[in-house]
Amino acid sequence: MIKGDGYELRVCRSAACPMAAVEAESLVSRLKVLLDTASLGEFYRSLSLKDQKRYRFRVALSACPNACTQVQIADFGLIGQVVPQLAGECVACGVCEEVCEEGAVTLQDRWPLFDTERCLNCGLCIKACPKQVLAAEVKGYKVLVGGKLGRHPQLAKEVVALTSEEEVLHLLERTLSFYRKYCRRGERLGVIINRLGWENFLAFVRR
């Protein structure tokens, strides 16, 4: 875990893990720069809170939908996504169908057919295809916000199902602006969103 002044950035094993759906290293560096620039420690100190050390903005990144860094309870959570597509000649071996834990790929007329409602964009089928004819149609991140534990736990809600690194950085920048503008006593982001309304939060960050 990276502990900065006023924030923590929890990142999974990503590059060292065979399950990773995305290469997260460059985004992690850019997230750290953005979080450092936001001066969150200074912000918390300006609120004159009693137990200063308790307060920090929590960001979590998992490089696949297994979500090992508990993105669902972070203020700002990211889940790596890879959308599979057929990009070569399928031999109808059925390996992709067997490996998919979601039942999201089935062989129909000797071609893999993907069920986008069920698919979690984990990329396991891409890795497992012995003919390497499955490829990434697009890679990116799911963005969640507002998760927390404590006295009134709540899971983070999805802002966008799949987006680019650039948009992730833009959303974090806007989320931090929202947080600094409306945080009264070091409240967690989820509490502020509950108070002001989900639609108002979305309107603010999508500007």
Binding-site size, ligand SF4 (CB under 6 A): 39
Answer yes or no whether residue 131 interacts with ligand SF4 by CB under 6 A: yes
**In angstroms, what CA-CA distances link 25 with 12, 61, 193?**
11, 11, 30
Answer yes or no whether residue 121 interacts with ligand SF4 by CB under 6 A: yes
Answer yes or no whether residue 125 interacts with ligand SF4 by CB under 6 A: yes
Answer yes or no whether residue 144 interacts with ligand SF4 by CB under 6 A: no
Answer yes or no whether residue 105 interacts with ligand SF4 by CB under 6 A: yes
Could you count the other beta carbons within 10 Å of the beta carbon of residue 184? 9
Phi first, then psi: give them for residue 154, nearest 5 degrees: -155, 145
Q: Which of 31, 40, 96, 159 forms a contact with ligand SF4 (CB under 6 A)?
A: 96
Sign, CA dihedral 195-72-178-139, equals negative
What is residue 60's three-state secondary structure? Answer: strand
Residue 31 amino acid letter = L
Q: Which of 84, 146, 147, 190 forms a contact with ligand SF4 (CB under 6 A)?
A: 84
- Compute the 3-state secondary structure of the chain and give helix, strand, coil in percent, each to the nearest 5: 35, 25, 40
> What is the distance between the alpha carbons of residues 153 and 138, in angstroms, rounded to a whole number?
33
Answer yes or no whether residue 145 interacts with ligand SF4 by CB under 6 A: no
Q: Which of 40, 104, 168, 189 forms a contact with ligand SF4 (CB under 6 A)?
A: 104
Answer yes or no whether residue 202 interacts with ligand SF4 by CB under 6 A: no
Binding to ligand SF4 by CB under 6 A, coded x per residue (else -) over 40-79, reads ----------------------xxx-xxx-----------
Residue 40's region, left for phi above 0, alpha for psi from -120 to 50, else beta, is alpha
The residue whose two tokens read 């959303």 is 171
Token pair for 74: 């972070």
Q: Which of 87, 133, 136, 155 forms a contact with ligand SF4 (CB under 6 A)?
A: 133
Answer yes or no whether residue 102 interacts with ligand SF4 by CB under 6 A: yes
Binding residues for ligand SF4 (CB under 6 A): 12-14, 17, 19-20, 62-64, 66-68, 84, 90-96, 99-100, 102, 104-105, 107, 112, 114, 119-125, 129, 131, 133-134
